[in-house]
Amino acid sequence: MFAVGWVSVFVACFNPKPPLGAPCDEGSPCPDGQLCVARMCTVAPDPLGSDAGIGSGSDAGAGIDALPMAVDRDGDQVANDDDNCPDLANPDQGNEDGDLVGDVCDPCPIDVSAADPDGDGVAGSCDPRPNNGGDRIVAFDGFHRPPPDTWRLVGQQEQRDDALLLSTVANNHAAASPPVLSIANGTVTASVTVDATVGAFDSATTVMLPYDPESDEGVFCEIYSPEADSTNGRTVSLWDSAPEVERGVKSFAWSTATPYRLALTRNGNNYSCAATPPTGAAVVTTGSTTSM
């Protein structure tokens, strides 16, 4: 899966006094009169007991009711009651599949299904081996914001409307590669939409494993058109770029302005390339290579 991790650091300035609910820890303590509870500044208990505090029953006429405090266990500035991942910091609240669970804690960020028969923490369509445990999500990014600096980007990119737009020119390529080392067994998946094809030569939109974005070499799972300006002969192709060999191919009349899900699965030297349209079954081709 595509994904990415990040660390958010929040610095609280006690000048002159932070509001209740400010982040705290051993290095950034709360001011006098407040205690650090669950990494959040809160009111210290009244030593005189509950009957003498603000808003107590006996003094309700003279006092004021204390405001309820929002609890934020993960310190991401989103209260637990409103946080779609209350125990993992995710200030942007990204939620690719629109369920009740945010991307950073979702067992499958692209699928509302939580079915996990092997109990390995990877669910639904994200699990390449649903009945064999031991899998994990290495990285995911829903492109709700621009990719982090750790990504390798080639060509022109623009983050817009929860998508990453890659623009290319004829006889060239654009790519976005997360900071994941090459893996011998795994699946990389992306939802792709081809807005337009460029030039009169061939055109391909791909997911890759492994891949070198600078040389544009790797094993590609692609929706391919032999002529960019024609819909004839379009396929799902498993392309091995180093020796320039097509390891597998299936006819697939894909269209522009239509979302498809591409998934490339590697198991050692064996590969499976699948393209799934908005409705209907996936079109799959397979092949083997030792070139990468």
Q: Provide the pairing of β-strand 175-177 with 152-154.
A: antiparallel
Q: What confidence score (pLDDT) does residue 142 get? A: 92
pLDDT of residue 201: 86
> Phi, psi (5° rounding) for residue 17?
-155, 125
CATH classification of 143-288, choosing from 2.60.120.200, 2.40.40.20, 3.40.50.2300, 3.40.50.12170? 2.60.120.200
Per residue in 131-188, pLDDT (tens digit) is 999 999 999 999 988 998 999 999 889 999 889 999 887 678 899 999 887 789 999 9
246: burial class by Cβ within 10 Å (0-12, 13-18, 19+)? Answer: middle
Top mean-pLDDT range of 26-30, 126-130, 252-256: 252-256
The predicted pLDDT at position 57 comes to 46
User: Is 63 or 288 the better-scoring residue by pLDDT?
Assistant: 288
CA angle 22, 25, 26 (to 5 degrees): 145
**Which residue would you say has higher pLDDT here, 255 or 201?**
255
* Mean pLDDT for the stretch of residues 245-251: 98
Position 24 scores a pLDDT of: 66
Q: Under 8 Å CB-to-CB from 83, ≥6 apart: which residues?
A: 72, 74, 76, 90, 93, 102
**Arithmetic mean of pLDDT, 114-142:** 93
Give the pLDDT confidence score for residue 265 in this predicted structure: 96
9-49 tens-digit pLDDT: 222 233 344 455 566 666 566 666 666 665 666 655 544 44
